[in-house]
């Protein structure tokens, strides 16, 4: 059976040569650091895919196609500063109508066009990647009832530095959970 993309609304299938598919991240228990990285990444992918019908039993066989990554491929688990650590593009729900507006207002993030020159660890890590300093980040809210999914997506301009800060917060939260 050919791979299909796990992102809602994406019709990519693995029976064409045009698409590449990347496995849903599994938790790597080889060390506590790798376990933290892989758990944080798995949580971030779950948030990005944002599906109510996606359970742990689906993780092993789930795939996300190259259309959902800035560079067209997924980053390695330890490269959390890479914009492709998590799929961020075309995450679905753009064409669905919202039946309810019972959600909190979304905060628009202002792009940070300049990165701190003194942040050498960021400059060192990001020198390997060619990616835009600013990108769109999709925030999705939706409602699922018996046989219908309704939703709304809002593209928010977010700087790469703000995204890195967000991912570092996820990692530190997971490390704190492990320590307790």
Query: Looking at the predicted structure, is the pLDDT value of residue 135 above 90?
Result: no
65 Cβ neighbours under 8 A, 6+ residues apart: 5, 7, 10, 12, 19, 20, 21, 22
What burial class does residue 26 get, using C-beta atoms within 10 Å of its C-beta: 0-12 exposed, 13-18 middle, 19+ buried? middle
pLDDT tens digits along 9-31: 888 888 877 889 999 989 888 88
What pLDDT is attached to residue 101? 46
Residue with tokens 């959902």: 68
Question: pLDDT tens digits for 109-132?
Answer: 555 444 444 444 444 443 344 444
Does the predicted TM-score (pTM) go above 0.75? Answer: no
pLDDT top residue among 124 and 151:
151
DSSP 5: B
Beta-strand pair 134-145/63-65: unpaired
Q: What is the pLDDT of residues 51-108, one digit of tens each?
A: 888 888 888 888 999 999 999 999 888 888 898 999 988 887 654 444 444 455 555 5
Percent of the chain having pLDDT more than 90?
A: 9
Q: Which helix (H) or strand (E) holds 36?
A: helix 32-49
Token pair recorded at residue 144: 């699922």
151 Cβ neighbours under 8 A, 6+ residues apart? 92, 93, 96, 98, 140, 141, 142, 143
Q: Which residue has the higher pLDDT, 69 or 148?
A: 69
> Which residues, in sequence order, are bridge partners of residue 141?
152
Query: What count of residues does the chain have?
Result: 180
pLDDT grade, residue 142 (50/70/90)?
low
Largest CA distance in the chain: 52
pLDDT of residue 114: 47
Task: Find the distance separating the first CA and the last CA of the chain, reported in whole Å.
Answer: 42
Q: What is the per-residue pLDDT for 15?
A: 80
Q: State the pLDDT confidence band at 163, using cuts at 50, 70 and 90.
A: confident
Over residues 163-169, mean pLDDT? 77
């Amino acid at each position: 059976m050919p791979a299909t993309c796990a992102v809602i609304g994406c019709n990519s299938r693995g029976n064409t040569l045009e698409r590449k598919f990347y496995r849903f991240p599994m938790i790597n228990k080889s060390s506590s650091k790798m376990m933290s990285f892989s758990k944080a990444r798995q949580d971030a992918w779950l948030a990005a895919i944002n599906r109510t019908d996606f359970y742990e039993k689906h993780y092993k066989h789930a795939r996300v196609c190259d259309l959902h990554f800035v560079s067209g491929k997924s980053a390695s688990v330890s490269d959390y500063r890479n914009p492709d650590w998590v799929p961020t593009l075309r995450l679905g729900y753009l064409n669905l109508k919202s039946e309810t507006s019972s959600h909190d207002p979304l905060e628009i993030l202002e792009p940070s066009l300049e990165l701190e020159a003194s942040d050498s660890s960021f400059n060192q890590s990001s020198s390997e990647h060619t990616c835009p300093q600013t990108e769109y980040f999709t925030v999705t809210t939706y409602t699922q009832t018996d046989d219908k999914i309704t939703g709304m997506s809002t593209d928010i301009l977010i700087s790469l530095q703000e995204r890195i800060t967000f991912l570092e917060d996820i990692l530190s939260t997971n490390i704190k959970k492990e320590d307790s």
